[in-house]
Amino acid sequence: MKNPLAYDRIEKKYQVGISESEVAGFWRDLRSFLAPCGLAPVQEITSVGSVYFDNKDFDLLRYSLFGRLMLLRVRTYEMYGRPPEPIAEYWVEVKTAADERRKKRRFPLTKCALMKFLEGRDAPESLAVYNRRDAEANILRNLYNESQETVFTLGLKPVLMVVYKRVAFQSEAERLSIDWDAQYHHVTTDVFDYDSWKYLVEQPAGKANKVILEMKYLQGGLPTWFSELQRMFPIWKREYLKPIEGMGFLFRGPLRHHKQANFFLPLIESYLAGSQTLG
């Protein structure tokens, strides 16, 4: 499965009934199981850092809770276990959904270009150079302008950072990733002053303490091998969005005095409780 700047695919999430300390053994078992199915490991352990934006009324959170998913985030990928280095590339992403199909539009920026994007500056002439993926300059520029318009029209600001570990298996048409050790932080624009996001010294507002599988494919139904995987391991379907869980921690912690906290907390708790009954 390729990783273009703009695509749509089916995404389904599952929870695995293991502890985080058992992920290494689970990964080894998956490696043996998936190899005959054509899926191979695609990376080392990656520390994924995502900063989610919202406005003062948390309209994007509201959309997600009522089934109209729209996320705007800045994402980074760093290799876990290595000494931290300054982040070289930030992905600006806008993600929407229709049922289980997810549409994502994204483009990479250097830190300097990201600051200009957030300040409302025009796309730099060298935008295509940042991409290095042979995308047409006009496509990149349109993505930049549309995403920037979303930020300023809705009044979006950084509010939540989610940092977690990920490993993945991939073929031409399918991708299975394992996410664990998710930690949630309340952030502002100061978060972009950090050179690295993978080893934060600040205590998180909360931790997920769960292992999540994400199954992604282009069309049709689940691959036949997935049913066998569910017979081998304790895996059940779970409609689960990390930013919704993360905002629950923020509204019980650093944002507990926000005027919307008492409105959103019951909705978030209901969403999380309901998602555990699926499958």
What element of type H or E holds 73? strand 70-79
Fold adopted by 6-275: mRNA Triphosphatase Cet1; Chain A (3.20.100)
pLDDT, residue 138, reads 80
pLDDT, residue 277, reads 34
| 148-173: pLDDT as tens digits | 999 999 999 999 999 999 999 999 88
- Distance between CA atoms of residues 50 and 246, nearest Å: 11
- Distance between CA atoms of residues 106 and 150, nearest Å: 13
pLDDT, residue 198, reads 93
- Distance between CA atoms of residues 94 and 29, nearest Å: 34
- Distance between CA atoms of residues 62 and 252, nearest Å: 17
**Helix, strand or coil, per DSSP, at residue 49:** strand
Q: Is 139 exposed, middle or buried (CB count within 10 Å of its CB: 0-12, 13-18, 19+)?
A: middle
Sign (positive or negative) of CA dihedral 271, 159, 154, 95: negative
| 44-91: pLDDT as tens digits | 899 999 999 999 999 999 999 998 899 999 999 999 988 989 999 999
- Distance between CA atoms of residues 99 and 17, nearest Å: 25
Q: Are 255 and 231 in contact (CB under 8 A)?
A: no
